[in-house]
Amino acid sequence: MKKILYTSLAFLLMATAGCDKYLDRKPLDASSASNFLTNQAEMEQGLTGVYASAMWVFPNNTPLLFAVEASTDHAIKRGGNAEDLAAMGEAGPFLINNALVNTCWSSAYRLIQRANQQLKGMEENGKNNVSAQVFGRIKAETLVLRAWAYFHLMYMFGDVPYYKVPPTVDEVLAAEKTPRATIVADLYKDLDEAVAGFDAANAAAILGNGRVNKGVALGLKAKLALLIGDFRTAATATKAVIDGGQYGLNPSYPNLFMLNGQTANANREILFNQTYPTDQLNPQSWLVVLSIPRQVTNSQSSHFPSQALVDQFEGKDGKRIDQSAVYDPANPRANRDSRLKWTVVMQDDTVAYRNNTNIAPYVNPVERTIYNIYSNVRRRFNWTTSRYDNVSGNNDWIGAQAAGIQWQVSATGNIGGVGYAWRKYIDSTQYSWETKTGYILMRYADILLMYAESKIELNEIDATVVNAINAVRRRSGQPDIAASSQAEMRTIVRRERAVEFGGEGHRLFDLRRWDIYGVANSGPVVGAALDPAVPPATPTFDANNIPNYGASINQRIRFRNQTRNNTNPRYKLWPIPQFEIDVNPKLTQNPGWQ
């Protein structure tokens, strides 16, 4: 594995302060505020550098927000990794120098620095050399990207240093925190300017795969508003997107997470995603690599869905599993919301992965596997006989640890998962180690559910709220919901967010702003049935829709023997990286992390 270098903004500035000759050159992937950005070509080139800084990964080629998902109750990363330690809280140790936390901070400020350079250079060097429409559109994209970085900083870290121009070294070393509400109010203005810039430029609804647009500007304004409980602004921003009629839902949920489906982008559901070039080998996404179960050839599983996510998916009758007449604990994959099978691989599901070579008779080069955790066999499709063979030796078998078979980083291992694997983003048309499918950062379903949530919190529950939720539900074949009390509608929309966006990097933001991260991510980590002949009891759910497994814990997989503890109020925010505290005595640490 490559070593990750965490670099503070101060270090970035100091490292370049004495490199005047180097900075005299016009950079290929970033802008210089002093002698660049004098014409449209240079502005577009500088903008490319800003987008490059929005390519967030951890570790290596894994989308950063997919890694962040493993710090929540809905996912589990291989034991001992930074994500796993962050998820465990007091049981970690979750230390201030956690690599995931440091990467989030550094990635966001790197993007902010690039955006500020772009904005300053454009204004000073080239504004009069391009049309107002071109200038406004490029500025609009840059403003949205900078706001994207600040949004993530604020829900992760709270109040943070706020820069709107490239700071000097001295300014960085003396920076203090700006209150979150102050930053949000200022970013509202930036995003309003961005919307106006897109409109004045008559910009297309989707400017290009991986680029921000008017819909993203309004959606991001809604996210910022939800962060501070400004539900009126969130409702207004999302309604503007809905009423604009430029975006819709893709009729095929699975196609959202396939390369060809993203290229087509039916109904423009994908507003913004982290893309990968298809005309060259690097970079590529290793999300699939971390998802493939160990019973598959050339697999590297280390990121798994949790039981807490699986149990959010309703029965086909539209009822939560503890209330559903069609849910069967002995066959938990049957009669469920279709999004479950499109998101999670469960016992007896058939999955297909592409290798880079033919290995007769089971890899052709696609390998088909019937997922199995209950015996020491791999159920592999034989391309010669067109049937499935039982092949001995299964790293995901629940008895593998006792048999001394493997280094337990499997779907059931003592530092692995709890019986499940990810299906979302699995695309058998691409070699798993060279995947080019973009990681979705914002899509129209999010706009609909943010609108519904905002109106529910305002207690303005009307037909538009019900229609927004039902539009998302109908795609997966779930029954419509009807308007009900504010508390019941709140539960419904929160469950919809859980099942619609599983694995998409939204969960930490949701738990933090709902102020339920501590209760959701505390307690023993459990999984699928330890013995399929002894079905675990159906969990109960608390007022926050969080499952409780007390009645069935001994019937569930829990080889990790992990109990998370995030009840300490300090886990409402992550700690400011120590490298920033060390160089700036005016930057105070977050509460409880001193």
Q: Report if residue 29 sits inside a domain.
A: yes
Residues in the chain: 594
Give tens-digit pLDDT for 147-194: 999 999 999 999 999 999 999 999 999 999 999 999 999 999 999 999
- pLDDT, average across residues 212-218: 98
Q: Report if residue 57 sits inside a domain.
A: yes
For residues 73 and 507, the answer to whether their CB atoms sit within 8 Å is yes
Q: Report if residue 153 sits inside a domain.
A: yes
Q: Got the DSSP string for 184-244?
A: HHHHHHHHHHHHHHHHHTT--SS-STT---HHHHHHHHHHHHHHTT-HHHHHHHHHHHHHH
pLDDT of residue 409: 81
Q: Give me the phi and psi of 534, to 5 degrees please.
A: -125, 85
Q: Report if residue 63 sits inside a domain.
A: yes
- Domain range enclosing 97: 9-203+573-583
| Distance (Å, whole) CA 491 – CA 320 | 11
Number of domains present in the structure of the chain = 1
Give tens-digit pLDDT for 16-48: 333 333 223 334 444 455 578 999 999 999 999
Which are the contacts of 475, defined by CB distance < 8 A and separation ≥ 6? 249, 250, 251, 253
Side chain identity at residue 421, one-letter code? A
Q: Is the pLDDT of residue 2 over 50?
A: no
**CATH code at position 118:** 1.25.40.390
- H or E element that contains 305: strand 303-305
Q: What is the mean pLDDT of the chain?
A: 93
List the structure tokens of 278: 């298809």
**Residues facing residue 584 across a β-bridge:** none
Q: Is the pLDDT of residue 1 over 70?
A: no
Q: Report if residue 387 sits inside a domain.
A: no
pTM, entire model: 0.94
- H or E element that contains 113: helix 99-121
Q: Report if residue 51 sits inside a domain.
A: yes
pLDDT of residue 15: 40
Q: Report if residue 414 sits inside a domain.
A: no
For residues 152 and 505, the answer to whether their CB atoms sit within 8 Å is no
- pLDDT, average across residues 417-430: 96
Provide the Cα torsion 73, 78, 79, 84; round to 10°: -40
Q: Report if residue 46 sits inside a domain.
A: yes
pLDDT of residue 401: 74
pLDDT of residue 129: 97
Q: Got the DSSP string for 372-384?
A: --SSSEEEEEETT
Side chain identity at residue 192, one-letter code? D
- pLDDT, average across residues 372-378: 96
